[in-house]
Structure 1
Amino acid sequence: MIRSLSLAAALATLVTGGALADPIEGNWKTEAGSTAQIVTCGGAFCITLKNGKHAGKQIGTLKAAGDGNYAGKITDPANDKTYSGKGSLSGNRLKMGGCVLGGLICRNQTWSRI
């Protein structure tokens, strides 16, 4: 009996753990064709390039802002400059953006879930 309850509790934990994952977590194809992985890290979401010219570089951290929106910092891997960043999730598309001068100049990309 106790063994059955332990197994049921373990199974419930596994099922619930998967359900608690944030929709932004996972692997994304960037416009440049690289794979970016987004994982939970210290209360935020860390973005790391997994392949391509800048493989292994962490290029950003975002925090959930509600309603599929995220805000934080994005780093351009080509020049290592960090910008105010944002993300907006819609289905399997993630619109990423980085801005300078208080949002006066921005660059945006749309990534696809893989």
Structure 2
Amino acid sequence: MRKLVSILLLSTLAPTAMAASADGIWRTEANAENAFLEVTVGPCESDNSKTCGVITRALTEDGVADDYPHLGRVMIADMKDKGDGEYAGGRIWDPERDKEFKSTMVRSGNKLTVEGCVAFLCDGQTWTLVE
């Protein structure tokens, strides 16, 4: 009986823990030209215990921008999973400014809030899960 209760408890907790993962394809907020990126987030190639994100698609008002120069570039690097959908200790690259910032991420449902910070000044976006 105790074993059955443990299995049931674990099976109800497991989907919650998995839902907090940032893994997936995320759409950034649109920029001033109404263009946005899709970033594929998952384990880093260099260290599977950390989370990274690579620009896998760029879209404009006219459709897919196959000639976007930063396709395949790492945008999110070395995020550490703190649990409950929170990530910290990594960096994010801003393609519009060509600058890298210290970063944090928080997943809540199908939204991923991503912030980049310099000292105490932070700016961020809320990305939407594509798949």
TM range (shorter): 0.7 to 0.9
Which residue of structure 1 aligns with residue 114 of structure 2?
A: 96
**Structure 1 residue 88, shift from structure 2 partner:** 0.5
Identity of aligned residues (%): 36
**Structure number having the greater helix percentage:** 1
TM-score by length of 2: 0.65
Which whole-Å deviations, capped at 9, do the CAs of 1:25-76 have from their partners, x for residues lacking one? 1101111321100011212111111112332110112110122100111111
Structure with the bigger RCO (C-alpha within 8 Å, sep 6+) is: 2
Aligned length: 94
Matches of 2:37 and 2:111, distance apart in 1: 15
- How is 1:67-106 mapped onto 2 (pairs within 5 angstroms)? 67-71=84-88, 72-101=90-119, 104-106=120-122
Matched, 1:45 2:63: no
The answer for unaligned runs of 5 or more in structure 1 is 1-18
Which whole-Å deviations, capped at 9, do the CAs of 1:75-103 have from their partners, x for residues lacking one? 112343211100001000000000001xx
Structure 2 counterpart of 1:37, which letter? T
Matches of 2:53 and 2:42, distance apart in 1: 7
TM-score by length of 1: 0.74
Matches of 2:103 and 2:91, distance apart in 1: 5
What RMSD in Å do the two structures reach over aligned CA positions? 2.0
Candidates 35, 40, 64, aligned match of 2:38: 35
Matched, 1:23 2:21: yes
Which residue of structure 1 aligns with residue 73 of structure 2?
A: 57
Alpha-carbon spacing, 1:20–1:96, altered in 2? closer, same or farther (3 Å): closer
1:94–1:110 CA contact under 8 A, matched in 2? yes
> SS state of the match for residue 64, structure 1?
strand
The answer for unaligned runs of 5 or more in structure 2 is 1-16, 31-35, 59-67
